[in-house]
Structure 1
Amino acid sequence: MSNSKRTTGMVLGKFLPPHLGHQYLAEFAHNYVDDLTIVVGTLKNEPIPGELRFEWMKHMFPNDRVVHLTDENPQQPHEHPDFWNIWKESLERILPEKPDFVFASEDYGWKLAEILGAQFVPVDISRVSVPISGTEIRNNPMQNWEYIPREVRPYFAKKICVFGPESTGKSTLARNLSERFDTTLVPEYATTLINAFHDKGMEIGQADMLSIIKGHQASERALMKNANRILISDTDAVATTIWSKWLFNDCPSELLSMAAGNPSDLYLLTSPDVPWVDDQHRYIPEEGAQKREKGQKFFEDCKRALEERGLPYVVIEGNWAEREQKAIKAVEIF
């Protein structure tokens, strides 16, 4: 039986944001030592909240010790004459024990290891293995998408909502866009709930509007990690608030609050200028031309709701082919 001492290591970083270079560094260190501590050092006024970065790193490295250092320390040696002692005191206070090894992809690792009495292990300092930096990702996350870990992607992904009256091709357009941009589709949760209720001979009531919003938002959060830069959503909570007013002449404040807290980044507002297609679950009861009159009124309510909230939208109109091309162009420009 071996009596050799367990080896310990430390990785220090801002992880602003975590990227595949950081992942390589931490996994290298994890495989080099027995016990690894990852120190997430954050400041109050950085562009991505420190607590969020700490949570990301904990999720990415559940088998390592991840600690959050929030001391407002100087970031460069020229900023303070006692720079290295300040960092030495902070790290010795937060680390569970003195590390045997310090791992870094920057030259500062030499001095950091020295002040902690550890051995420095350089990892991909020339950025050959993973040629990316946090600055590059912050400046252009979409162009550098492949370097962003799945846990971090929801922060940068944009949500595109296809939104509008009944029988305007929303679901078909949303599906076609998800295929066109090779990304994830969030189907309309209201349809799921309505179908489930109808199978049991039940009808949707106003109290179920909250379940529709919660279900759709839960679906968005569950699918966001799979999104390829954008997430396509077939309607969202704003639409549910409009339907609540239409069906029950009222929209509870809780629904309005939930809609306000989770808007989409771009709305594709589908115009009712295409032929009406009947469906067993249509909720506009009028016949013939009155259906389109009601559809136009619903369209105006949708437009008003977006404008009152200051949400960006593009009207999608014309025949089916024109609508799809306009939607594709709107997403590409966005």
Structure 2
Amino acid sequence: MRDLGIYFGTFAPCHVGHFEQIVRAKRENRHALVIVSGYEGDRGNTYAMSLDNRVKAMRQLLRNDKNVSVIKLDETEIPRYPHGWGPWLEMLAEKISAGIAALDFEVDEMTYYVGEEEYIEPLQNFFDGRWTEIVTHITMVDRKILGISGTSIREEPILNWDYVTRPFRRFFVQNVLVLGAPGTGKTSLVHDLARRYSTSYSTEYAKEYRISQHVAADELDVKDFHAVGIGQFENNKKHIHSPGTRKVFFADTDVMMTKIYMKMHAVGDEFHQLKSVFDYFIHLQNWSLILVLPPKEDVTDDGYSVTMHGMILDEIKLQGLEDITHVLEGESYRNQYQEAHTLVDEILKDGKDN
């Protein structure tokens, strides 16, 4: 057994092929360094897989594994490959030196696991010269063993879902938001769709908050709305990142809905005090599809539901989300469910399970 295995890449995302190489590196050596590299605006950003987010996901994947350390290598300030090869090697050496310093044993042999043949000679020459006291080995790995690549996953993430390691799946989840005034059946629709696709869903945080704080709906003040809005955002985020979420996630309301409730019930300048805060969190949300249930024709609430429905559509327009929004037109719940199911199938396309 050698001392230190080193495996580097962009990991956008980390798939099972990458993981097999990480397992190999830590089994053939006393310790392994997994170096996640990238730069601001790299190929991972399309799916919110920034370098920092990839590092966090990799550390989550390898948490509690004492034989592996995850290190970030930020290439933002150096030229892109191949022009930045020299500076990149220097940065890599610095990261490896820091990794070695954190170990409780001497490193006499280290092995680099690479997937590109063109890396072998430059790495061998550079590190033979950098650490003359350490024997350097370069091992070529077979990237075709599982027939999957990061490019294939980014192009068809749902179809290749099972190849993506769990902490990285959240970057490809298709998030579906269901909105509607009280009594429209949105909670039932969320539950049934989640059961249909064997995935997770979030509940309306405002109900939990009112129960825990012993506050009636008409007693909510600006501090309560702030707590409800942030709580709803975190509630949705928690379920998107949940191991129980598979390909698609359904949200029973979001921060937009809290903003609408606040606009309807807040007094004086209270709405304007929180508007920018809510807009910030609304901007952070990422929806693939928004389903809106219209008010029931026979509802008797002095126009409350109709007013709220109009405000929902206005807010969706304000946020520039009209292109992904569908108002369900079915006359019965069954028809609305079938319409929603068809729309969800469309965003999942060939990768749907059922």
TM bucket (normalised to shorter chain) is 0.7 to 0.9
Partner of 1:93: 94
Output the CA distance in 2 between the equivalents of 1:213 and 1:141. 30
CA contact (8 A) 2:218 2:265 kept: no
- The farther-off stretch of 322-331 and 211-220 is 211-220
Whether 1:127 aligns to 2:135 is no
The Cα of 1:92 is off from its aligned counterpart by 2.7
| Change over 3 Å in CA distance of 1:274–1:170 after alignment to 2 | farther
- The correspondence of residues 227-242 of structure 1 with structure 2, limited to 5 A, is 227-242=245-260
- The amino acid across from 2:144 in the alignment is R
Asked if the contact 2:2–2:110 (Cα under 8 Å) also holds between the matched residues in 1, the reply is no
Residue 323 of structure 1, aligned match among 320, 328, 336: 336
Q: Percent identity?
A: 21
User: Could you say if the C-alpha distance between residues 271 and 202 of structure 1 is closer, same or farther in structure 2, counting changes exceeding 3 Å?
Assistant: closer
CA RMSD of aligned residues (A): 2.8
TM-score (norm 2): 0.78
Worse-matched range after superposition: 202-211 or 216-225: 202-211
Unaligned runs of 5+ in 2: 45-49, 101-106, 129-135, 348-354
Q: 1:170 aligns with which of 169, 186, 189?
A: 186
Which residue of the partner structure matches residue 314 of structure 1?
Answer: 326
The 1:102/1:296 distance shift into structure 2, 3 A limit, reads same
Q: For residues 52 and 165 of structure 1, what CA distance do their matches in structure 2 show?
A: 35
CA distance in 2, matches of 1:198, 1:275: 31
Q: 2-side partners of 1:33 and 1:214: how far apart?
A: 45
Q: How many residues align?
A: 310
Q: CA deviation at 1:51?
A: 2.7
Q: CA deviation at 1:119?
A: 2.0
Does residue 54 of the first structure (1) align with residue 55 of the second (2)?
yes
Q: CA deviation at 1:168?
A: 0.3
Structure 2 partner of 1:66: 70
Aligned partner of residue 207 in structure 1, secondary structure: helix
Name the stretch that deviates more: 202-211 or 138-147.
202-211
Matched-pair contact (CA < 8 Å) for 1:241–1:259: no
Aligned 1:1-334 pairs, distance under 5 A: 7-48=3-44, 49-62=50-63, 63=66, 64-71=68-75, 72=78, 75=81, 79=82, 88-96=89-97, 100-108=110-118, 110-111=120-121, 114-115=124-125, 116-117=127-128, 118-123=136-141, 125=142, 127-128=144-145, 130-198=146-214, 203-225=219-241, 226=243, 227-249=245-267, 251=271, 252-253=274-275, 254-273=277-296, 275-276=298-299, 288=300, 291=301, 293-311=303-321, 312-317=324-329, 318-334=331-347
1:172-201 deviation digits (Å, cap 9, x = unpaired): 000011111111111111121223344999
Name the TM-score, length of structure 1 as normaliser: 0.82
Whether the aligned pair in 2 keeps the contact of 1:25 and 1:104 (CA below 8 Å) is no
Q: Which amino acid aligns with 2:112?
A: V
Change (3 A) 1:168 1:94: same
CA displacement, residues 201-234 of structure 1 (integer Å, 9 cap, x when unaligned): 9953332111111222112222212321121000
